[in-house]
Amino acid sequence: MIAYLVPRMSWLLTLLLLISHSLLAQNLALKKAAIASSTTQAERTAHAAFDGDKNSRWESSSSDPQYIIVDLGAVQDIAHVRLRWEGAYGKDFTLAVSSETTAPSDANWTNVVDGTWVTVQDTQGNSSLLNDCAFRQSGRYIRLYGTARGTGYGYSLYEFEVYAYDPNPNLALGKVATGDVNDLQAASNAVDGDGTTRWESAHSDPQTISIDLGSVQPIDDIRLTWEAALGKDFTLDVSNDGTNWQTVMPVTGNTSTSNEYAHLGASGRYVRMRGTARATPYSYSLFEFEVFATSNNLVNQAIGKTGVASTTQGTLTENYAFDNDRLTRWASTANLDNAFIYVDLQRTVAISRVFLVWEQAYGGDFTIDVSDDAATWTTVGTAVNNSFHFNEYRFTSPVAGRYVRMNGTKRGTTTASNGYSLYEFEVSAAPPPLPVTLTRFRAVAQSTGVRVNWATASEQHNAGFEVQRSANGADFTPLAFVGGAGTTSAAHAYQYLDAAPLRTSGYYRLKQLDTDGTFAYGPVVVVQAMPALVPLSLYPNPTAGRATVVGQVSLAGADHWYLTNSLGQVLRAEALRSALTPGLSLDLQPYPAGSYVLTVEAGGQVVRRGRVQKID
């Protein structure tokens, strides 16, 4: 699902700058420039709706219509707006995105205000003080335009938040969570996207919390954020029906409050944590239970590198944040809000991801900064009122820097004994470049298998693509090679049919090869598990001539069969002459050496499939 912008090519399927605990992307409007049609007091200007302070607010005059506009600073892929109203809410209003992409022409933003707007949300009869508006639109400026107030006062917003599209969202967010009738706090608190609420079980073993994702989904990464009452021994399980469970991760002896289990390679509609031994005499208590379809595959460049911190607490030194061990941690001096930690990568790196894994003493307000000399810093990410133990920054265009810093200005916890405490501070570089401009890469399950297709806008010295597949998102094996177009500025489209896909979720990627033998990997996409098929066995296999289906396998109801090559091209198709497989024989002599797939269908649905290797 993830494609990254890299130096020698432009993955047009790229991520926007994201910071998240994996619930929401960073509020793109935070501390950005804004303008409004009117204000009532000096401290209630448009900027108050974008300052991250839920006590300050913008307030318009008491008339209709009114507007407020924010400049995101650059074109962004917008997917979500959250409006936090004071009591003076908007009853009828629209959200619109401007077609203007340049800076404001003057102090009144004339080119923006009087420009062309695309309406993305039309709300009528609102009575809520919290509006979540989902849509998908690219733009630099976004406007709220009120046409009817909900009260006799003006329009008054505490916060106007704008979020980017997240291609790898938390699948558990807002879904139905179930605990036990004796739970002390509701299971829904673990999937509400609020890092201050929590599920709390009874004070006994075993205990279970399960989540219904709504449909069968790929499950590759699970993150658990515990309160101090953490689980010591537990299993993570998945199920398609909520009754029959499969354990994908057994855990014993856990002592961390921030657990992440990646590259699970599982799928299911339901996911659960089943605790069998508590770490304390109290309950099992989870702030957040997060589930993702894909895992991070980038290499952490900060492992073993030198760290520098403003202060340390006892023996909890800064190098523990860069040792790739989530049981060791750095901690700053207690009860101080201003603290920093940075890492020296020892060379300038094109940074595409920064990932913070906090202990319970997390940062509330902080920035992520980069520098070439550890003296002059550039802020590339900002967090305000953070309450989560996992913070992830991903960048569309990699940011360059030798040094990367977390600069804290407010602790997330006010306990006097707490400072800032990080288990891990990860920094990843952009993936290796490909000499192509890839405009599309998809893998789609079909009745005939999994169709992998991709397209390029241009290619340079491109020998071709090796299509690769994995069962877990980490270990890939080649399926086929598809020749490239060499050097060209013309668009090209490619495809490959995996006619014998995995029965678990399958992960696909491209290995692009240059004519000089160098290579690089593309993005990874995941396809949900295909329904189980009874395989056909062919003999001899491999063969230089004919191959015959082995065994008395019934084909009752099947109407035809066809043979495809490694590119998914149909080479031969015939109606079935018998309801039994004996006598179903293939003559491969006319075809070159390679891998071939025999598929049997009934009413357009695949019922049997077998692979055979042709040799010279």
Residues in the chain: 616
Is the pLDDT at 15 greater than 50? The verdict is: no
Please give the span between the terminal C-alpha atoms of the chain, in angstroms, as a whole number: 39
Domains, the chain, ranges and CATH?
A: 26-164 (2.60.120.260), 176-292 (2.60.120.260), 306-429 (2.60.120.260), 436-527 (2.60.40.10), 534-614 (2.60.40.1930)
CB neighbourhood size of 530 (10 A): 21
Is the pLDDT at 431 greater than 60? The verdict is: yes
pLDDT grade, residue 117 (50/70/90)?
very high
What is the Cα–Cα distance from 441 to 453, expressed in whole angstroms?
6
- 3-class DSSP state of 258: strand
Is the pLDDT at 135 greater than 70? The verdict is: yes
Residues paired with residue 470 on neighbouring β-strands, in sequence order? 476, 507
Average pLDDT over residues 190-203: 93
In this structure, what token pair is assigned to residue 271? 């996911």
pLDDT grade, residue 188 (50/70/90)?
very high
Helices (H) and strands (E) in the chain, counts: 1, 39
Cβ contact 126:64 at 8 Å: no
Read off the pLDDT of residues 232-258 as tens digits, 9 standing for 90 and up: 999 999 999 999 999 999 999 999 999
Is the whole-model pTM more than 0.75?
no
User: What pairing do the DSSP bridges indicate for beta strands 534-535 and 605-614?
Assistant: parallel
Q: Average per-residue pLDDT in the chain?
A: 87
- 3-class DSSP state of 357: strand
What is the Cα–Cα distance from 406 to 356, expressed in whole angstroms?
9
Report residue 39: phi and psi, to 5°.
Answer: -140, 160
Which residue do the tokens 């062309």 mark?
116
Buried b (16+ CB within 10 A) or exposed e, 550-565: beebebeebeebbbbb
Is the pLDDT at 512 greater than 60? The verdict is: yes
In this structure, what token pair is assigned to residue 252? 């014993």
- 3-class DSSP state of 430: coil
Cβ contact 558:600 at 8 Å: yes
pLDDT grade, residue 198 (50/70/90)?
very high
pLDDT grade, residue 530 (50/70/90)?
low
What is the Cα–Cα distance from 72 to 216, expressed in whole angstroms?
36
What is the Cα–Cα distance from 536 to 177, expressed in whole angstroms?
41
Q: Which of 414, 258, 235, 401 is nearest to 327 (CA)?
A: 258
What is the structure's pLDDT at 466?
Answer: 95
Cβ contact 329:320 at 8 Å: yes
Read off the pLDDT of residues 457-492 as tens digits, 9 standing for 90 and up: 889 889 999 999 988 777 889 999 999 999 988 889
In this structure, what token pair is assigned to residue 64? 């209709």
